Amino acid sequence: MSSLSVLSGLVIVCLGYGALVMYRYLTCRRPGDRIMYVPESTLAMVVSPIWPPKNWIGSVGSHFIPFSRDGQTIIPLVWAPTGERYYQIADVSAAKAVFEDRHGFVKRSEDSNNALLWVETVTTLNEWFSEWDFAIAREPKRQKAVNITTELRDITLFVIASAGFGMHFSHGSMGFHKPGYKMSFGESLVIAIETMLVKAMAPRWMYVLPIKALTNCDMAYTELKQYIVEMIAEARAGNAVDRRQGGEATADLFQRLVVANDEESDAKARLSDEETVANIYTFFLAGHGNHLEIQDKVHEEAKLLWPSFLDDSVYSLAVFRETLRLFPAEPTSSRYATVDTTMPCSARNPKTGEWEPSVAYITRGAGCTDLAHVQYLKAMYWGEDCDVFRPERFIDTAEYRWPRDAWLPFTGGPHVCLGQRFAMIESACIIARFMRKYCIRPTPEVARMPKQEQWARLTKWTQGVTSTPGRVDLIIEPRDVMGDGKL
């Protein structure tokens, strides 16, 4: 068979498939529908920085432009190859409706807790900082260059393991091996995080191949799930053990979470074991995620309030919230409609140009995707400077109250992220403790760049299963060296 015949055959197949796709689109399409350029999937999140192109529907960098162009805050879409329907949401009221209706929209597939978390975070930071201080003391300039992305990721994971699950790790130890397991809890956790993109992208049949990355990924996720399932059973039985030493009883946040969930009086709000396991996975995978004037404000607040910082912090929590607004760990969140329903939205009046209340009709089985990264950059919620890092927008005043409903980094309703309070307390503690002890400065290479280039370099991130920060090398200096007084 000649190469020309093969080429002709391929052309015929492509034309036939294209005709089938067009037929499906035309037969499934309804007035107002747009074409979906990539289906809802992990692949869509991974390729989103390059496809669809900027300003097209579905592009992470397009922000509110497609919605403004269409004159509506909910855009109906059709994935032509299968005829599946989706709705992309850039509306606070609609997002709230989706998250609060646990059964109408589904996923496809306190004080004592705060004190415990605070203690464990401070303990982990003290151990980490002692190693930094030892290294800094040996340097002539009393400075240390660190990859802050990796360091903070590890600190976060260690705090989650310690306060959340009663397992204490350090640089040199990732926990003991339980009988019947090939990995310790810490090893399975770290490998699961490192290979989560492999887990999301590789089809099940590929795991039979003799590829080390796939083998490690499969083993890590299998054993991590077994660990979590065992811990649920232990917590429910009331005999959870101190997994740091394998000995006496303890009440870590995980045990308290399971007990509280079992005691939930509203059966509709109670999570199943499978939902609890799924939330704990998310808790782990999403939780490890050069403004000198802002550093100074946090430093002054920490000096003034510490150690009662947990109850009285305002500015550090504002920094945390502003960071998640501009760099959400999960820029999109999807649910699937189980019934035909309606959803509040806004539409532009073609005559006046003003946005007015409207209603979107959602069909059963359709995917509904909340685009958090769009809502967080809408001037109607966050002001004309919504693309600027300004923590003050999260501080209430006599004349201003920041828009709670427009900030949903942990989703909302019955399916709100289990790690919400954990993340806020842990982050506030890390921010305050860090700024109280150290000052962060850019490396000489970055410091020579213009301010805008510095910001772009230090805040570069990539979109995958979650938003992932790039490598950031910074200089840390003890504040007592800078003349701020010994802390």
What single string gives the DSSP state of each residue in 2-46? -HHHHHHHHHHHHHHHHHHHHHHHHHH--TT-EE-SS-SSHHHHH
pLDDT at 471: 77
Strands 74-79 and 467-469: what pairing?
Answer: unpaired
Overall average pLDDT of the 474-482 stretch: 75
pLDDT at 310: 58
Overall average pLDDT of the 292-320 stretch: 76
Q: Which amino acid is at 239?
A: N
351-356 LR contacts (CB < 8 Å, sep 24+): 355/73, 355/380
DSSP reduced 3-state for 55: coil
Give me the residue label for tokens 């009440």.
251
The answer, yes or no, to whether residue 151 has pLDDT greater than 80, is no
Q: Using CA atoms of 372, 283, 291, 401 in order, give the dihedral in degrees to the nearest 10.
A: 50
Overall average pLDDT of the 70-75 stretch: 94
Smallest CA-to-CA distance from 147 within 368, 373, 472 is with: 472
Q: What are the helix (H) ranges across 358-472?
A: 372-375, 379-382, 420-437, 444-447, 451-458
Overall average pLDDT of the 134-147 stretch: 83
Q: What is the DSSP letter of 467?
A: E
| pLDDT top residue among 236 and 239 | 236
Separation CA 64–CA 57 (nearest Å): 9
Confidence band, pLDDT 50/70/90 cuts, at residue 179: confident
Confidence band, pLDDT 50/70/90 cuts, at residue 416: low
Question: In the chain, what percentage of residues exceed pLDDT 90?
Answer: 14
The answer, yes or no, to whether residue 236 has pLDDT greater than 60, is yes
Average pLDDT, the chain: 76
Beta bridge partners of 328: none
pLDDT at 147: 81
Separation CA 330–CA 419 (nearest Å): 13
Give me the residue label for tokens 């975070």.
121
Give residue 166's region: left, alpha or beta (phi > 0; psi -120 to 50).
left
Instruction: Reply yes or no: is the peptide bond before residue 52 cis, omega within 30 of 0.
Output: yes
Q: Which of 31-45, 71-85, 344-358, 359-373 has the weakest average pLDDT?
A: 31-45
Overall average pLDDT of the 416-421 stretch: 66
pLDDT at 344: 94
Look at the pTM and tell me if it is higher than 0.75.
Answer: no
Confidence band, pLDDT 50/70/90 cuts, at residue 301: confident
Question: In the chain, what percentage of residues exceed pLDDT 70?
Answer: 70
The answer, yes or no, to whether residue 163 has pLDDT greater than 70, is no
pLDDT at 395: 94
CB contact at 8 A, 184 and 224 = no
Half-sphere exposure of 470 (CA within 13 A, CB side): 8
Beta bridge partners of 334: 369
The answer, yes or no, to whether residue 41 has pLDDT greater than 80, is no
pLDDT at 360: 95
pLDDT at 257: 54
Confidence band, pLDDT 50/70/90 cuts, at residue 119: low
Helix axes 315-326, 292-305, angle to 10 degrees: 140
Q: How far apart are the first and last CA of the chain?
A: 80
CB contact at 8 A, 54 and 65 = no
Q: Which of 101-110, 172-181, 432-441 has the weakest average pLDDT?
A: 172-181
Smallest CA-to-CA distance from 305 within 321, 317, 291 is with: 317
pLDDT at 487: 42
Scored b (16 or more CB within 10 A) or e, 200-210 reads: eebeeeebeee
The answer, yes or no, to whether residue 447 has pLDDT greater than 80, is yes
Q: Which amino acid is at 442?
A: P
Chain centre distance of CA 311: 25
Taking only the tens place, the pLDDT of each residue in 392-401 is 999 999 999 9
Q: How many secondary structure helices (H) and strands (E) does the chain include?
A: 20, 13
pLDDT at 419: 63
The answer, yes or no, to whether residue 281 has pLDDT greater than 60, is no
Taking only the tens place, the pLDDT of each residue in 282-295 is 444 444 444 567 78
